Structure formats: C-alpha cells, structure tokens
C-alpha cells in the first residue's frame, strides 16, 4: 500500500532527537515515598540538570525463588506522581508563621530580651492567646525565618515544661516504617524532653484488636508474594486493586495457577472486578457471614467428617482443648474462667500457677498442665515455654482431649446469648467434673463450648437449631441471611469449597482483610469469626494461608534497635507513649457529646453489671486508674512538681516518692488528669505534627479538634449530653475552647494541618533526604535518598528536630540549667511479667484492693531530664544500649561489641569526656540501626534466636546459622534492596526461597504465641470480656442511626437522604497525600467525590457531578457526587481523604462557612472491651492494644447543594 511509509533514512529522521533529548537524564537515585503507605516500593528518581524530572520503579528486588512471581515493578499511580510536589505551587518553601502570632511575637521580643519570657507574655494573656487561636486556618500566613521560628518553638517548649509540665508536649506522626528515621527524629526529641508520642494504628482504626485477642500479636501477615501460594483467597473489607496496587498482580497470578478469588464487599469494587466471585454482602455484616461459615465447617468437617488435619491442628495450636469452668448465673450456667493450675491439688504449688492453664489428658483421665502457657513464660526456670503437649510437672506426653463428647461426666445445659434477637439459648455441653481446692466444679473444653456457641448440636439436647435452614437460631446459614443479604446456599458452598481446599492443600486458604471490616464498632467480632474459620481449617502459620490484614499495619523490620533510637531508650526510659484514641476522645472533648445510654445500645450485655454498664468516659478513666491504658498528662501537676512535692513531704528515695504518690491518689489529693480533663492544668499545650495530617485526614471528629484544641471556627452542632451521665470524671461548663498554645507542623505541602498550624516548618520531600523503608507487603529493606538537596529553605525532619533540640538546649542553660527528676507513669505492659498483674477485676479506688504501682494501678518510674544536654543526647547514640542490649517482644540480647564497632568504625561524637556513635546525620543513624538489627546483621539475628532458644527450650539458631556473617550498610541498600533475615521479632521463616507468612515460627518451631495459653485463642478468658459477653466468637448488631444519633441537631430541610457514611481508602491518594496534586486530581474528576447509588440519587433529583451538601451534627462536607449502580443503596462512599484546602465551597447549611473534609462528619466512639487490661495478651503496648477510632457506624444526610457553589 503506497500510503504507508516505512522510513529508514536517518537524515529524514533527524527531528527524532526532540524526544530523545526530553528522555535523557543525568543520574538516577534510589529512593521511595515516606508516606503512610504499606507499598514500600523502591523507586528510581531521575535527575536532569540538577532538577528531579520524574520517577520510575526500581525492578531489581532480589528474586525469592523461581516458583513465585518476582517483585517487579512495585509502585502505583500515586507514587509516580510524587515528583509533581517538589517544584509545585503547593510546596512549603520557607518557614511560615501565623501573622497574628508573628506580630505578637515580634512585639513581645522587643519588650522581653528573654524568648521564654516573651512567649509567656503572650500565652499568659488570655486576649492575646485567643486572638491568634481564632485566626487559625483563616489565612494571614507570613513568611518567617528559621532563626525566628526555631526560637519561638524552643521558647514555647521551655515555657510549657516549666509552667505545665513536659507531658503537656505532644507529638503525632503516623506509621514510622515508611521513613523510620524521620519519625524517630521527632519521637527522640520528644522522649528526651519528656514529651508524649501519640499512637496511630489504633487511632486510624487499623489495629485489628482481634489480633492481640487471638494471637497476642499486634499484627503479623504474609508478604504479598505469599498470596501466590494460596489456593483460595477471600478478600473482605480490603480493595486490593485500589489499595494494594503494587501487590495485586500476585492475586491474578495465583488465579491463573488455579486459585479461586472470592470478594465480599457491598459495592462492586475494583477487586470484585478481579475476582471469580463477588458476594455482595451488606456493609458491616461480615461477622454474621463468617459465623455461619464456621457453623458449616464445624458441623461437616469437624463433627461429621472429623477431618484429621483440622482436628490435629486445633488440638496442638489453639486453646480448643483447654478447660473452662462453668459458672452459675441468674440465667443458668455460663462459661466462666479457664481452669488453672493453682486451683487443683496436683499443681497448686507450681510457680505462676494462676497463669498456667489445664487440659484433659485422655491417658491419665485427669487434668494436666501443658507447657507453653503464660506462667511458663515468666517463671524462673526457662526452657518450658514451648508448644509441646507435655506436662509441666513430669514432662509426660499429654493426650489432650479437645472434646468430652465421648468420655464425660454428663451434659450441662449452658446459656448462650444471641444478641441480635436478645435471646438466651440453653444448650447441652458435655462436661467433666474436677476436684478443685474450692470444691467440685464442672468444666468443658473450649472446643465443645465452640460447638454450642455456634449452634452445632452433634445430637446433644438443648436449644440447638434443627438444621441449616433454622433462620431463628444463631449461627446457621439461614440465620445470617437477614443481616448479610447473602443466601444460605451461598454460605454453604463457600464453606465447603474453603474447607475442602484447606484439607487438600494443608491449609492454603487465606483471608485478605482490611478497613472495610475493621473500622466498625464491633469490627473485632468479624475478625474473630474469620480467624476461627482459618484456625478450624489449619490455615494459620502456613505458606499460602493466614489472615492477611492489610490496613495501616506497616512493618518496621529493624524494630529492636530502632525502638531504642526512636524512643531515646539509649539514654533513659520509660518513654511516654499514649494511645491516641483515648487521648483525643478525652482531650478534644468528644466524650462530652456522648450518652451512657448510647453505649448500652451500642454494646449489648449478657446482663447489666456495675462493671460494664457506664459511660465510655468512665470506662476510660477506670482503665487509666487501673493501669490498663496510659494517659498523659499524668497528674494535675507537672511531673517534676509531683517529685518535688513528695520530697517536700519528706520522701527521699524513688520508692518513698511512689508511696507518697499512692497515698495522695488514694486520698484524692493528687488526681489523674483524665479525671478532670477540661481543667486548664490538664490540657495538652504544645503539639508537634510531622509526616502526617493530624488535623484533617487523621482527625476523627475534626470539627471538635477545631473547636476544643484550636479554638477556631467549627461546624459541629451536636448537643453536649454527658453532663450527669459521667460519674468518675469532672464536668466543667463551658467546655474549653483552644486548649493548645502552639501547633507546629513540619510539612512540604500546604495541607489542612499546615494551614491550621501556627508554625509551618518547610520539610524536605522524600527525594531530598536519607532514610530507611520497610513494609510487610514484601520482605526487603531499602532506602530513601536525597536525589537533590532539600529545595529552597527546607530541611529533613531529622535536621529540623535536631535544630529545635539545639535551641531548646541553648535556652535551657538559663531556664533549666540542672537535670530534673520526673515521675513517669506506665501502664501494665504486654510482653512483661505485668501480664500476670490482674487475674480478677478489682478497683482500688473502690476499696476492692490496695493501690499497688505496677500491679493494681499504673507503674511509677523516675527519669532525669537533662535539658542542657538534650541536643548532645539527640546526636549521640547513648550508652544504655551498650550496657543493656536491645530487644523486642520480651527478649533481649547483648550488642556491646557491635556498639563498640560503631565507635571504632563510624563517625563519633565526644562530650562530657565520653565518645558515642554519632547520629547527627540521618545516614549515620541509619547505619547504626542496620548494624544492630537482627534483620540486617546476621550476628545479631543469631544472638536474638539464642535468647529465644533459652526461653523456649527448643533449637532455633539453625534458622540463621547460614547468614550469620551478613552485615548490611546503607550503601548496600543504595545499590539494591536487601531481603530481611529471619528474626524472633517476627514469626515467618523465609530461608531457602520461602515467602514470608505469619506464625510459621510458631507452627513449625513450636514457639508459643504471646497469649495466656501460648496458643491461638477462640476463648478470651478475661473477666471483662466475660462480663461483656464476648468471651466466645459472637455477633452483636450493627448500630443504626437511632443508636448513634448523628442527626439530632441537624435539619431535614428539602429532599435529602439519610445514608450510612463510609470512608474507604481511595484510588487517587494515600490518605490525603497525592490527592491534592494535579496528576491525581486530573484523573479523579478534579475532586474526591461522594459516591451515591443511582436509585438513591433519583429519589432526591441528584444527577451525576451535581454539588451536594453532606452533613450531620458533627460537621458538613460540600462536594460533587458520582452517581453509580456500583454503590448499594442506603450508603455512600467518600474516599479517604480529601483536603478541605482544594476546591471546597462554603456550606449554606452551616452559616455559609467553608465546608470541611471527610472527618468533618465523624466522631469517635470507643469500645470499652478494648480498654481492658492487666492480664495476659490484654495488656498495653503502643499500637498493640486499646480502643480504636472506629468511624463506620456513622450516618449523614445528603442533599443537592442549594444554588451555585459559593467560594
């Protein structure tokens, strides 16, 4: 054909050079995005003419093995848009100050030569303080200089320490793993001065509480390559295509290798599209579905077929065989506490006998005490904390009976609660009688209780459902239909395919799960139900199996040395670590808008009790008082004042100070701050925000933040309802507005948090600094690196906090010249002997026991703060690590020689006559971590496993013997990502080309889970869980608008819809990052719209792309809508997380003020069971345990915006 021209002639093609020139770049530097994303993708940053041009993914991850697809490329649409930020008009190039404050400050500095006095003159003057607080977020920012902002910030820091106490200085930065040194910069600074770090995982409601409940583990999951080994993958509450963008190919590739992928989701999502089957389940009803699946598995695969693999698995790896005492209650017998060694004659004298639990031995025909339970972990004689079914007394093998169906002393009728119907069913459970020191008791196995709870009769008498079709009895397939909308037949098929696959493959079934299931008030129930389905089929601790929870989890691989560095444990401890949900619930006064009666409906009880029936705020105050949860500020005076007051009263030693404190608390002369949070002496005062968007995308109850923290305008209209309903907490009228004296934000973009802060410090982007990145989505560690120097006046987080520290030390020479001693409160901690603190519920404040620090109340510790040397300490890796070693999860190992190598071989700092490894430069800090971490240093790994071996009594070091000589440096990572070495800080086994899957170490090497029994728990033996009726997997109804009452004060004018309001993770941003850049906005319709069902839209005359006003008592959002049949009726989606800084009009509904962001419509409701503590795995650790900021049980009204949008 003549018209198609093939041209070879080079002369004719000289013009082709145009595009070649655009393509060519000068150098490529490996970095990544230190944003709150689990991707952990390694990127190549292309620099041209000294300017970052663009980025492409690195594709050189070491291959794991030839039978698994490789990790390449990793990196999504969001990551590849990052270069837009560097030179964009959204970039924070210089330090900024709020104009009103700048004027006040410059005025004050003219009068006061001393910066601290100048600051005091402003914040001690209510009118001045209010003037800049009210201006927050309302424009008027002005460029400042580094000298000015550093001085102001340092002055505020010193003033706050002196006047209010160091524990009134708080900091928030999300998930450290993705840029761990940048996180550590701020946390190290705060912990050296006595400040408070807020948690994030629980606050985001990403912490799956079921994980600590069942496994005693914060979260441990498979890397995404391990999905490839799975032969049945269920995705629920997780939108892989949307949020696991770099990993999702493994799911498709697994499908082509014969796996089935089933998606449970209310909307037809990107992942539904990718799946063999989409099961459209009603939002928030996953527990009902899984309980019915478990019902079928128990009936068909455990009872009728007695699948050997499954039965053997639950006997060895779960609490199924453990004995639970049946206790008499009003309604009859109920499952009570687990029977323990101290209660029977044979083992009454065993050490920690209250924390060693019993099983029935078929051989001895008597209870026996298997190794591996909590008491063995903390006893003097080490080496018996192992998952062998051997008796702790004589080492004999135990034939642990999971069921008394055969061989029992009778059948007891036991009461089981069905909360959805309010019914109590009496069901027959086979029991044994046991002679205890208290007399004869009836016990059942957890396994038999499980059958009864699930309504699987096995021919036993009682109110069991007759068949799968019995729709009135929990938890049959027919029963779940009304909640889930899924047919019983579907559930039965699912269960059979699931269990058959697990049986044929030895447990290669997995659940990928996330926010869509976790972020409900009763999210932990759904998780437990799904976990039960996995454990019953032997799918935990298997490659290709597992509960793979992917939301907000991250994985900071070199956790042991990093923790020491990040929380300044190399100098002193304990750190002040605060669970953010409790903190914000209390301090942002969201508790004032809640009723006690709401709590009862939210969380129905088996029977009312003094313990369980109360306002959430009272639960919160009690949890602090009893040492279950931390709380800062600690007391109604400064931490140094407490010590000084005690000394003034005659106390000389720390012990005497503690005695004084205990007496004062008992006599109510000294108060916990949480008991009167609105008193000015208990307010937080100074807030550092870095790497995150604490005031918007992270601010559940955002409008309450604006009102009570910032003292600026708020669009919340909810009535205050807690007065008279709280008993343990003081009520003050009016509620304080503007608790915070100063908000300092480190940022590279002008996001909502920056806009509302007083001081904005220009931060380096991820392409302008050195840092480390790891994730659990893959098993590599790799760096961030400066492809170009920090642009304009920006600095890395590390260098900014170092500079603030330097200024604080300088001012301290005048103001706090000598070290001061502080009291630090600490809750009863996980992975410490405090797991054995509280077997029973006893409240010292009610005289039920004596207040005893670290036992019945928080522990009390003492730390010297050396403010003059704060900067010196910041830049020096301290001597405590050398002396005490490093550790995590209850084990510690020595690193003194490795520390000495750092002194010999690396940059050092010398002061006070001593030399320390220098961490003045972030890259050096990275090398310190890499040199000490078992995941990157084979010798450290070997020693860590040696330490674990001692506790467990079984060989483990062989796992890393072959990699003992591995040493990894930052320069190595710059060349290529490195695969992490196995370490007892984690639970996978990755040698010989294996992909990482959680709990393989437990299953294969018999290392106990860190729980009461050392096994996986179906039964939660905590008196609090029993009181709340949640000891066994259960279902509690999803609360409706009549319960949560989000719309009491909001009008109903004009045609509008009441909808359940969901904020899943979106396609065009990682939280709020990227979502405001032009690339993502162009691809997302220029906004982050509200998605509404087409039928619903029609009801109120809504057409696609109309502006809508979405509102409730908590606030208002004005945004465009998308109308789609993809969304089910009755709910709407506003993908997390738009900024209110980009194209947001004003709201006619709320006085024509600027409408808000997605968190303007949320308010947190804390679940009291998640505050329980002091016992077993239910003990505190940051981001491990505590109530979550759940946010999905929220209702809004949506209507068409009246008139044109107002700007």
Partner 1 sequence: MNVRSQISTVFHLDKCIGCHTCSVACKNQWTDRRGMEYAWWNNVETKPGTGYPISWEDQEQYQGGWKRDGDSLKLRQGGRLASLARIFSNPLLPILDDYYEPFTYRYDDLFNAPAGNDQPTARAISLIDGKPMEIRSGPNWDDDLSGSPIYAAQDPNLEGLSAEERSELQGIERMVFFYLPRICNHCLNAACVAACPSGAIYKRGEDGIVLVNQDRCRGWRMCVSACPYKKIYFNWSTGKSEKCILCYPRLEAGEAPACFHTCVGRIRYLGVLLYDADRLSEAAGRTDAELVAAQRTMILDPFDPAVVEAARKNGVPDAVIDSARRSPVYRFVKEWEIALPLHPEYRTLPMLFYVPPLLPAMAQEALEGEASFFTSLEKARLPLKYLASLFSAGNEEIVKAAYRKLMAVRLHRRSTQVGDLPATLTAKAMAEARLGTADADAIYRLTSLAGMDERIVIPPMMREGFTEPTVEPQRQNAAGFAYLRPPPGR
Q: Which is nearer to partner 1, 256 or 380 (CB)?
A: 256
The SS3 assignment for 1133 reads: strand
- Block residue for tokens 């912490």: 207
Among 487, 946, 976, 1058, binds partner 1 (CB under 8 A): 487
| Closer residue to partner 1 (CB): 647 or 1153 | 1153
Which stretch, 253-261, 557-565, 990-998, 1035-1043, contacts partner 1 (CB under 8 A)? 253-261
C-alpha span between 149 and 685 (Å, rounded):
17
Minimum Å distance from CB 533 to partner 1? Answer: 18
Q: Under a CB-based contact definition with an 8 Å cutoff, are residues 620 and 1171 in contact?
A: yes
The rounded distance, in Å, linking the Cα atoms of 996 and 988 is: 5
- 493 makes contact with partner 1 (CB under 8 A): yes
Of 16-24, 463-471, 547-555, 905-913, the window that binds partner 1 (rule: CB under 8 A) is 16-24
DSSP per position, 192-251: HHT-EEE--TTTTT-S-THHHHHHS-S-----GGGGGG-SEEEEES--HHHH-TTTTHHH
Restricting to residues 262-281, which ones interact with partner 1 according to CB under 8 A? 268, 270, 272-278, 280
Nearer to partner 1, 277 or 957 (CB): 277
In the complex, what is the shortest distance from the CB of residue 97 to partner 1, in angstroms, rounded to a whole number? 12
Burial of residue 284 (CB within 10 Å: 0-12, 13-18, 19+) is: buried
75 binds partner 1, rule: CB under 8 A: yes
Q: Which of residues 77-106 bind partner 1 (CB under 8 A)?
A: 77, 79-81, 83, 88-90, 96, 99-100
Per-residue contact flags (x/-) with partner 1 for residues 728 to 767, judged by CB under 8 A: ----------------------x----x------------
Q: How far apart are CB 137 and partner 1 at their closest, in Å?
A: 5
Query: Using the rule CB under 8 A, which residue among 29, 37, 64, 76 binds partner 1?
Result: 76
14 binds partner 1 (CB under 8 A): yes
Please report how close the Cβ of residue 504 comes to partner 1 at its closest, in angstroms: 5
d(CA 1168, CA 448): 28
Measured in whole angstroms, how far is the alpha carbon of residue 846 from the centre of its chain?
32
Find residue 227's DSSP bridge partners: none
Phi, psi at residue 836, to the nearest 5°?
A: -105, 25
The rounded radius of gyration (Å) of the Cα atoms in the chain is: 29
CB of 15 to partner 1, least distance (A): 4
Q: Indicate the residue among 7 and 437 with the shorter CB distance to partner 1.
A: 7
Shortest distance (Å) from residue 541 CB to partner 1: 20
Q: In sequence order, what are the beta bridge partners of 45?
A: 29, 55
Told to check if 1123 binds partner 1 by CB under 8 A, we report yes
Asked whether the beta carbons of 1199 and 1063 are under 8 A apart, the reply is no
Q: How many residues bind partner 1 (CB under 8 A)?
A: 125
Closest separation in Å from C-beta 154 to partner 1: 25
1147 scored as a contact of partner 1 (CB under 8 A) = no
Spell out a b/e string for 333-351, using b for 16 or more CB atoms within 10 Å of the CB, else e. bbbbbbbbbbbbebbeebe
Closest C-alpha among 620, 544, 535, 630 to residue 585: 620
**Phi, psi angles (nearest 5°) of residue 819:** -60, 145
Q: Is 713 in the site for partner 1 (CB under 8 A)?
A: yes
Least distance (Å) between residue 98 CB and partner 1: 8
Q: Residue 985 and residue 996: Cα distance in Å, rounded?
A: 13
Closest CB to partner 1 among residues 348, 1085: 1085
d(CA 552, CA 568): 24
Nearest residue (CB) to partner 1, 365 versus 1105? 1105
* 231 scored as a contact of partner 1 (CB under 8 A): yes
Task: Select the residue interacting with partner 1 from 364, 466, 1049, 1125 (CB under 8 A).
Answer: 1125
Binding string, residues 435-474; x marks residues near partner 1 by CB under 8 A: ----------------------------------------
Instruction: In whole angstroms, give the CA distance from residue 798 to residue 871.
Output: 12
Query: DSSP 3-state assignment of 475?
Result: coil
Identify which of residues 817 and 1095 has a Cβ nearer to partner 1 in the complex.
1095
Min separation Cβ 1064 and partner 1, Å: 13
Tokens of residue 950, six digits: 């001692």
Q: How far is the CB of 71 from partner 1 (least distance, A)?
A: 10
Between CA 190 and CA 632 the distance in angstroms is 13
Among 1039, 1128, 1138, 1174, binds partner 1 (CB under 8 A): 1128
Q: 472 with 479: CB under 8 angstroms?
A: yes
Q: Is the Cβ–Cβ distance between 289 and 262 less than 8 Å?
A: no
Alpha-carbon gap, residue 828 to 1022, rounded angstroms: 15
Provide the minimum distance between the beta carbon of 104 and partner 1 in the complex, in angstroms, as a whole number: 13
| CB distance 389 to 372 below 8 Å | no
Element spanning 161, H or E: helix 146-163
Nearer to partner 1, 135 or 169 (CB): 135
Mode of pairing for the β-strands spanning 96-98 and 51-57: unpaired
How many CB atoms within 10 Å of residue 793?
Answer: 14
Using DSSP, state whether 80 is helix, strand or coil.
helix
Contact with partner 1 (CB under 8 A): which of 1127, 1166, 1181, 1201? 1127
Residues 167-206 that bind partner 1 (CB under 8 A): none
Phi, psi of 120 (to 5 degrees): -60, -35
| Nearest to partner 1 of 623, 1121 (CB atom) | 1121
Q: How far is the CB of 1100 from partner 1 (least distance, A)?
A: 17
Task: From 879, 781, 885, 260, select the one nearest 570 (Cα to Cα).
Answer: 879
Nearest CB to partner 1, comparing residues 824 and 1134: 1134
> Cβ 628 to partner 1, closest distance in Å?
39
In whole angstroms, how close is the CB of 274 to partner 1 at the nearest point?
Answer: 6
Q: Binders of partner 1 among 1036-1065, rule CB under 8 A?
A: none
User: Which positions from 1075 through 1104 interact with partner 1, judged by CB under 8 A?
Assistant: 1078-1079, 1081-1087, 1093-1094, 1104
Q: How far is the CB of 257 from partner 1 (least distance, A)?
A: 5
Our finding on whether 1067 is near partner 1 (CB under 8 A) is yes
Q: Does 49 bind partner 1 (CB under 8 A)?
A: no
- Cα–Cα distance for residue pair 567/190, rounded to 1 Å: 8
Residue 141 interacting with partner 1 (CB under 8 A): yes
- With binding defined as CB under 8 A, does residue 24 bind partner 1? yes
| Interactions with partner 1, residue window 503-522 (CB under 8 A) | 504-505
- For residue 687, the cross-strand partners are 170, 743
Instruction: From 60-68, 436-444, 466-474, 895-903, give the range in contact with partner 1 by CB under 8 A.
Output: 60-68
Interface residue with partner 1 among 48, 112, 255, 732 (CB under 8 A) is 255
CB 1114 within 8 A of CB 703: yes
Tell whether residue 207 is a contact of partner 1 (CB under 8 A): no
Strand partners, 16: none
Closest to 470 (Cα-Cα) out of 295, 327, 633? 295
- Smallest distance, Å, CB 141 to partner 1? 6
72 binds partner 1 (CB under 8 A): yes
State yes or no: residue 328 binds partner 1 (CB under 8 A): no
Q: What is the largest CA-CA distance in the chain?
A: 105
Tell me which residue has tokens 């033996």: 1021
Answer yes or no whether residue 1153 interacts with partner 1 by CB under 8 A: yes
Cα gap 525→130, rounded to integer Å: 45
Query: Which of 979, 1154, 1165, 1199 lies at the binding interface for partner 1 (CB under 8 A)?
Result: 1154
Which H or E run includes 730?
Answer: none
Distances 1142 to 91, 644, 706, 1105 between C-alpha atoms, Å:
14, 50, 18, 17
Please identify, using beta-carbon distances, which residue of 228 and 1185 lies nearer to partner 1: 228
């Amino acid at each position: 054909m003549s018209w198609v021209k093939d041209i070879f002639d080079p002369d004719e093609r000289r013009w082709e050079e145009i595009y070649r020139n655009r393509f060519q770049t000068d150098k490529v530097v490996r970095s990544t995005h230190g944003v709150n994303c689990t991707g952990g993708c390694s990127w190549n940053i292309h620099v041209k003419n000294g300017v970052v041009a663009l980025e492409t993914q690195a594709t050189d991850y070491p291959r794991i093995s030839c039978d698994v697809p490789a990790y390449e490329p990793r990196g999504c649409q969001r990551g590849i848009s990052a270069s837009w930020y560097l030179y964009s008009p959204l970039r924070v190039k210089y330090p900024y100050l709020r104009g009103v404050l700048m004027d006040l400050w410059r005025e004050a500095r003219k009068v006061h030569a001393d910066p601290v006095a100048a600051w005091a003159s402003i914040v001690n003057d209510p009118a001045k303080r209010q003037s800049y607080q009210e201006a927050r977020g309302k424009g008027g920012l002005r460029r400042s200089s580094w000298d000015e902002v550093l001085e102001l910030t340092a002055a505020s820091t010193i003033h706050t320490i002196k006047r209010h106490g160091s524990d009134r200085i708080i900091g928030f930065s999300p998930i450290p793993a993705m840029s761990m040194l940048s996180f550590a910069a701020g946390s190290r600074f705060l912990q050296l001065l006595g400040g408070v770090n807020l948690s994030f995982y629980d606050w985001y409601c990403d912490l799956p509480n079921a994980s600590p409940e069942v496994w005693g583990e914060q979260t441990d999951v498979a890397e995404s390559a391990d999905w490839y080994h799975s032969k049945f993958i269920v995705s629920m509450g997780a939108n892989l295509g949307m949020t696991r963008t770099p990993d999702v190919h493994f799911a498709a590739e697994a499908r082509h290798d014969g796996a089935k992928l089933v998606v449970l989701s209310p909307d037809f999502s990107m992942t539904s599209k990718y799946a063999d089957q989409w099961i459209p389940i009603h939002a928030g009803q996953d527990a009902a579905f899984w309980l019915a699946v478990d019902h079928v598995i128990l009936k068909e695969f455990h009872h009728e077929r007695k699948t050997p693999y499954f039965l053997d698995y639950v006997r060895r790896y779960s609490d199924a065989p453990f004995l639970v005492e049946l206790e008499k209650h009003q309604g009859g017998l109920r499952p009570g506490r687990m029977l323990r060694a101290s209660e029977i004659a044979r083992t009454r004298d065993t050490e920690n006998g209250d924390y060693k639990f019993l099983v029935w031995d078929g051989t001895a025909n008597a209870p026996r005490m298997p190794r591996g339970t909590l008491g063995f972990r903390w006893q003097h004689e080490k080496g018996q904390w192992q998952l062998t079914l051997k008796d702790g007394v004589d080492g004999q093998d135990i034939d642990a009976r999971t069921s008394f169906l055969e061989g029992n002393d009778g059948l007891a009728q036991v009461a089981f609660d069905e909360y959805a119907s309010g019914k109590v069913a009496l069901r027959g459970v086979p029991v044994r009688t046991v002679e205890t020191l208290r007399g004869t008791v009836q016990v059942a196995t957890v396994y038999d209780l499980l059958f009864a709870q699930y309504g699987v009769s096995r021919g036993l008498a009682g109110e069991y459902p007759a068949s799968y079709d019995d729709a009135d009895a929990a938890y049959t397939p027919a029963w779940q239909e009304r909640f889930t909308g899924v047919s019983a037949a579907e559930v039965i098929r699912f269960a059979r395919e699931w269990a058959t696959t697990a049986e044929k493959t030895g447990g290669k079934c997995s659940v990928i799960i996330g926010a869509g299931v976790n972020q409900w008030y009763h999210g932990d129930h759904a998780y437990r139900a799904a976990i039960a389905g996995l454990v019953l089929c032997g799918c935990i601790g298997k490659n290709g199996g597992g509960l793979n929870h992917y939301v907000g989890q991250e994985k900071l691989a070199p956790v042991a040395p990093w923790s020491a560095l990040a929380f300044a444990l190399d100098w002193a401890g304990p750190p002040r670590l605060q669970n953010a949900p409790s903190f914000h619930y209390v301090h942002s006064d969201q508790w004032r808008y809640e009723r006690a009666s709401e709590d009862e409906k939210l969380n129905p009880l088996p029977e009312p009790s003094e313990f369980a029936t109360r306002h959430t705020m009272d639960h919160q105050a009690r949890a602090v008082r009893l040492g279950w949860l931390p709380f800062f500020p600690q007391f109604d005076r400064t931490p140094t004042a407490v010590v000084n007051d005690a000394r003034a009263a005659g106390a000389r030693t720390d012990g005497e100070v503690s005695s004084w404190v205990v007496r004062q608390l008992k006599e109510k002369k000294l108060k916990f701050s949480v008991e009167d949070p609105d008193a000015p002496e208990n307010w937080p005062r100074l807030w550092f925000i870095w790497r995150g968007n604490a005031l918007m995308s992270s601010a559940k109850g955002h409008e309450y933040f604006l009102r009570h923290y910032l003292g600026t305008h708020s669009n919340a209209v909810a009535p205050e309802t807690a007065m008279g309903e709280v008993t343990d907490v003081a009520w003050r009228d009016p509620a304080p507005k503007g608790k915070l004296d100063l908000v300092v934000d480190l940022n590279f973009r002008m996001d909502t948090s920056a806009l509302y802060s007083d001081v904005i410090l220009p931060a380096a982007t991820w392409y302008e600094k050195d840092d480390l990145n790891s994730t659990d989505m893959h098993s590599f560690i790799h760096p961030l690196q400066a492809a170009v120097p920090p642009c304009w006046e920006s600095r890395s987080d590390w260098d900014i906090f170092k500079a603030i520290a330097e200024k604080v030390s300088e001012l301290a020479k005048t103001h706090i010249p000598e070290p001061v001693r502080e009291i630090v409160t600490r809750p009863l901690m996980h992975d410490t002997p405090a797991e054995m603190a509280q077997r029973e519920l006893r409240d010292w404040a009610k005289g039920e026991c004596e207040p005893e620090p670290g036992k019945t109340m928080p522990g009390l510790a003492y730390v010297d703060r050396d403010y003059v040397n704060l900067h010196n300490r910041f830049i020096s890796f301290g001597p405590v690590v050398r002396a005490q070693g490093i550790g995590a999860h209850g084990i510690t190992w020595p690193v003194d020689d490795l520390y000495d190598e750092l002194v010999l071989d690396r940059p050092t700092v010398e002061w006070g006559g001593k030399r320390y490894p220098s961490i003045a430069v972030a890259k050096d800090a990275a090398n310190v971590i890499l040199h000490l971490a078992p995941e990157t240093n084979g010798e450290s790994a070997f020693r860590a496993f040696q330490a674990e071996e001692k506790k467990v009594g079984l060989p483990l070091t062989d796992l890393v013997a072959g990699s003992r000589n591995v040493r990894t440096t930052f320069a190595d990572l710059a060349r290529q990502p490195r695969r992490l070495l196995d370490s007892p800080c984690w639970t996978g086994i990755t040698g010989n080309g294996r992909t990482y899957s959680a709990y393989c170490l437990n299953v294969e090497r018999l290392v106990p889970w860190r729980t009461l029994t050392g096994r996986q728990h179906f039964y939660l033996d905590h008196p609090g869980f029993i009181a709340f009726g949640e000891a066994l997997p259960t279902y509690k109804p999803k609360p409706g608008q009549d319960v949560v009452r989000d719309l009491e004060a909001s009008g109903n004018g004009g045609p509008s819809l009441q909808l359940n309001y969901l904020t899943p993770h979106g396609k065009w941003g990682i939280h709020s990052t990227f979502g405001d850049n032009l690339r993502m906005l162009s691809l997302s319709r220029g906004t982050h719209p509200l998605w509404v069902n087409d039928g619903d839209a029609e009801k109120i005359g809504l057409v696609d792309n109309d502006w809508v006003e979405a509102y409730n008592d908590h606030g208002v959002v004005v945004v465009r809508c998308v109308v789609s049949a993809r969304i089910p009726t009755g709910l709407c989606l506003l993908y997390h997380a738009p900024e209110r800084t980009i194209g947001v009009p004003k709201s006619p509904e709320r006085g024509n003020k600027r409408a808000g962001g997605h968190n303007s419509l949320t308010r947190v409701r804390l679940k009291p069971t998640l505050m329980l503590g002091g016992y077993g795995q239910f003990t505190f650790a940051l981001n491990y345990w505590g109530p979550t900021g759940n946010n999905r049980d929220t209702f809004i009204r949506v209507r068409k915006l009246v008139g044109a949008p107002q700007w």
